[in-house]
Structure 1
Amino acid sequence: MEHGFEKFESLPEERREAIVGAAVETFGLSDYKGASTDAIARKAGISKGLLFFYFKNKRELYLYLMRHLMDVVTKVVVDERFYEIDDFFELFKYAANRKKDALSKMPYLLDFSIRAFYPEHKDVKDTMNGWTQAQIDLMFSTFFKNVRLDKFRDGVEPKKVVDMMIWMADGYLHQQRSMSRAIDIDALMVEFDEWCEMFKRYAYKEEFQ
């Protein structure tokens, strides 16, 4: 975890989890501006003053949450089996299913993640947009390092396929949000599997399809 949160990180695990859980729930149920630090402190069973002893302001708490939750999900996704998979699309599907399992075990994490993916408030918008792109670049350079790129057709860039998959997911989320529909993670996974098969036919040489 990045420097500056030693006081919070030194707390007993149960206390840390209570504060993180309260913050994720509050930010998940409301946008950044509407999320109340009073509510977070109350849910966590601490005073607001103590919350700001650990985090100097709401922005710092929010950005800490984003990085902490990414670390948690990454540990769930990137296990021993992860690096044994050398097929691009199989790895994509494996990671998506592991992430789905993580989301199902952590209430409000999906809502929090979607709101973080579409930041609106000036306090976090620029930071989150830049951080999201950095995570995408990291995913490709670090987590896909054992993938067999020789399966791709000549002229097809694997990184571009990653971008297109993310654009597809972005479009799906935008469509659901525009119709005020709750995100059904199971329905999204069905769509995701179809996208993988579609892009595989486009991107792979015939002998690997």
Structure 2
Amino acid sequence: MFAKNDFEKASTNLIVEEAEISRGLLYHYFKNKSELYEFLLYFSGQQVLSNMVDSVDWSNTDFLLRIRQALISKIETLAKYPYLYEFCDKYAREYAEELKQKLMPCIKKRIFEENLDFSQLRKEIDPEMMKSTVVNTLSKIITSIFKNGSELSNAEIIKLATAEIDKYLQFFRIVFYI
């Protein structure tokens, strides 16, 4: 309901009807709609971030491979939960940093800095600019695939996204690395 509607229009009547539970049961677990919403934000972020952290090979020092692992995990998680992408796209961006800090302190630092080797970058490449370029480009690709691929199956979304990510990572390796 939150993914398809604004917060105000996500009626608790529709929520309990869709979930096939009683209003009493909903209010047994959540004081109000706001508390349910906060839980869903937390759950959404937790699913994406914990799966990402679990999927990364932290001994691998290659930034592009690490980003690939993290993004494929994110895509698989978003594809697994039907409305998770829409919900996150609609609401979680404004809470993204807060969620990252609440769920997993220093997750960004860990993914972008821990045990990485940039010695193979071309000497004129600024590692921070390269990271930003890679992440922003790949994020736009993933957003486009999820927004335009609503009729695709989970397997098709994962296959398409993986192919696009791999294509761009190959390009970035040619452009940024020796």
TM above 0.5, one fold?
Answer: yes
In structure 1, distance between residues paired with 2:95 and 2:66? 26
Q: CA RMSD in A?
A: 3.5
Match of 2:66 among 91, 98, 103: 91
Query: Contact conserved, 2:2 with 2:87, CA < 8 A, in 1?
Result: yes
In structure 1, distance between residues paired with 2:75 and 2:106? 20
- 5+ residue gaps, structure 1, are 1-25, 119-126
In structure 1, distance between residues paired with 2:148 and 2:58? 35
Residue 77 of structure 2 is aligned to residue 102 of structure 1: yes
**Pairing of 1:55-204 with structure 2 (within 5 A):** 55-79=30-54, 82-116=57-91, 127-128=94-95, 131=98, 138-144=106-112, 145-169=114-138, 171-172=140-141, 181-183=148-150, 185=157, 186-204=159-177
SS in 1 for 2:148: coil
- 5+ residue gaps, structure 2, are none
In structure 2, distance between residues paired with 1:76 and 1:155? 34
In structure 2, distance between residues paired with 1:80 and 1:129? 20
In structure 1, distance between residues paired with 2:71 and 2:134? 12
Higher relative contact order by CA 8 Å / sep ≥ 6: 1 or 2? 2
Deviation of 1:71 after TM superposition, in Å, equals: 1.9
Aligned residues: percent identity?
Answer: 25
Deviation of 1:52 after TM superposition, in Å, equals: 4.2
User: Normalised by the size of structure 1, how large is the TM-score?
Assistant: 0.61
Query: Contact conserved, 2:125 with 2:176, CA < 8 A, in 1?
Result: yes
SS in 2 for 1:28: coil
SS in 2 for 1:35: coil
**What CA deviation, in whole Å up to 9, does each residue of 1:179-207 have, x standing for no partner?**
x7345634333222222222222322x1x
In structure 2, distance between residues paired with 1:81 and 1:174? 21
In structure 1, distance between residues paired with 2:139 and 2:68? 17
Deviation of 1:90 after TM superposition, in Å, equals: 0.9
Query: Contact conserved, 1:82 with 1:95, CA < 8 A, in 2?
Result: no
